Amino acid sequence: MGIFKFMTPEIIFGTNSLSQIGESLLRLGAKKVFVVSDEGVLNSGWVERAVQYLKDCKLDYCLWTEPTPNPKDYEVEKGVHAYIESGCNSVVGIGGGSAIDAAKSVALLATNGGTIRQYEGVDLVTSPLPPMVMAPTTAGSGSEVSQFAIIGNSTRKVKMTIVSKSLIPDIAIIDPLTLMTKDARLTAHTGMDVLTHAIESYISLAATPMTEGYSLQAIRLIAEYLRPSVASRHNREAKEAMAMASLQAGIAFSNAILGAVHAMSHQLGGLLDLPHGEMNSILLPYVLEYNLISCPEKFKNISAAFGENVDILSLTGAAGKAIKAVKELAGDLDIPDSLRNLNLKEDQIDFMSLNAVQDACMTTNPRDMKAADVKLLFRRALGGGF
């Protein structure tokens, strides 16, 4: 085993934990808070509630809700102007991964300056960020505990992966009640994103004993609770379990990084602005089939985490059950099994394949992958039908 490090923010988890947001900010020295969210979350009422908790603690605030899904570089740069003009000294993100990534990126530029493109890659942030508290309302991106921010480059039409321990928020507040306002489709897509985080972090080349336990426990929770969470927005037990799965998978992937599924889905998001979780769900079985020979023992453990009786099977048979379980779960959630309906063109596949091998997430994929391999997988995913 080589040298590794492991980091998490302070975590506040539980029903009604959003009520802790004001006190959390006061502990960090906040005076005026830049609250980042988006229109969808605004309509759900969670921002209004969070702002009331800030007022209860006599904290001033400025609300900024301009980021769109798959946030873009120019949006972040508008956001940092608003932050500086407002005189805020701290940042809150409330929402899904898009709002939280935008919030973290505004915080980055507030103290480091320049444009967000300058920070694409690993460990390019040198100055400390303002105090950050993040409250996710999906389960989810894991961005509230991660050292990642994913921002679209509007010129190159790719998603930039920014990795720095400075991007880990000071405090993550995870309130499962916020999941009860999400519809079935969003719950399914974000839940499959969590599964992709758990599996890719588990088989990552950078996985460690500190991350593997979190990855496997997240898979166990998803196997048991994602279907009931999608079935009913009122199932509190399922919402709590999926919030925990998202948290555990987020801790795992923040420290172990991800793999080819994310490297490829970032291209679909960057070029075509497609939903991240749905794209991951479609790509996951194809990439797993490709990755299977790299670590069949780990695939066997994933099968066991899905509840398969692996003791009676050969290693190959047990490992294969993991892919079958992923396909069955996506099928039960009515997620398509191919990219066929996207009408992708040959030159778009070439462009995305070349960019995918440059994505930071590709470096930890357990099987080597060249642009030609990525292209083949995109082609398989276009054919569909597993």
Please give the residue ranges that form the binding site for Fe ion (CB under 5 A): 193
- Residue 193 or residue 278: which is nearer to Fe ion going by CB? 193
- Residue 38 or residue 193: which is nearer to Fe ion going by CB? 193
Distance CA 87, CA 90 (A): 10
Minimal distance, residue 196 CB to Fe ion, in Å: 6
Q: How is residue 144 annotated by DSSP?
A: T
Minimal distance, residue 278 CB to Fe ion, in Å: 11
Minimal distance, residue 74 CB to Fe ion, in Å: 23
DSSP assignment of 145-176, as one string? T-SEEEEEETTTTEEEEEE-GGGS-SEEEE-G
- Residue 41 or residue 150: which is nearer to Fe ion going by CB? 150
Amino acid (one-letter) located at 203:
I
- Residue 164 or residue 280: which is nearer to Fe ion going by CB? 280
Minimal distance, residue 156 CB to Fe ion, in Å: 20
- Distance, CA of 331 to chain centre: 21
Contacts of 185 (CB under 8 A, 6+ apart): none
- Residue 133 or residue 199: which is nearer to Fe ion going by CB? 199
Minimal distance, residue 323 CB to Fe ion, in Å: 19
Minimal distance, residue 30 CB to Fe ion, in Å: 29
- Residue 8 or residue 112: which is nearer to Fe ion going by CB? 8
Other residues' Cβ atoms within 10 Å of the Cβ of residue 126? 10
Helix segments in 307-358, DSSP class H: 315-332, 346-356
- Residue 75 or residue 193: which is nearer to Fe ion going by CB? 193
Q: What is the CA radius of gyration of the chain?
A: 20
CB 94 within 8 A of CB 117: no
- Distance, CA of 373 to chain centre: 24
Q: How is residue 150 annotated by DSSP?
A: E
- Residue 197 or residue 321: which is nearer to Fe ion going by CB? 197
- Residue 33 or residue 257: which is nearer to Fe ion going by CB? 257
Minimal distance, residue 158 CB to Fe ion, in Å: 16
DSSP assignment of 9-26, as one string? -EEEESTTGGGGHHHHHH
Distance CA 214, CA 211 (A): 5
Which residue sits closest to Fe ion, CB atoms considered?
193
CB 158 within 8 A of CB 150: no
Other residues' Cβ atoms within 10 Å of the Cβ of residue 237? 11
Minimal distance, residue 13 CB to Fe ion, in Å: 20
- Residue 100 or residue 107: which is nearer to Fe ion going by CB? 100
**Could you give the 3-state DSSP secondary structure of residue 33?**
strand
Minimal distance, residue 268 CB to Fe ion, in Å: 12
Helix segments in the chain, DSSP class H: 21-27, 39-44, 46-56, 73-86, 97-112, 184-203, 209-231, 236-256, 260-272, 276-291, 296-305, 315-332, 346-356, 371-383
**Residue 357 — left, alpha, or beta (φ > 0 → left; ψ -120 to 50 → alpha)?**
alpha
Minimal distance, residue 97 CB to Fe ion, in Å: 7
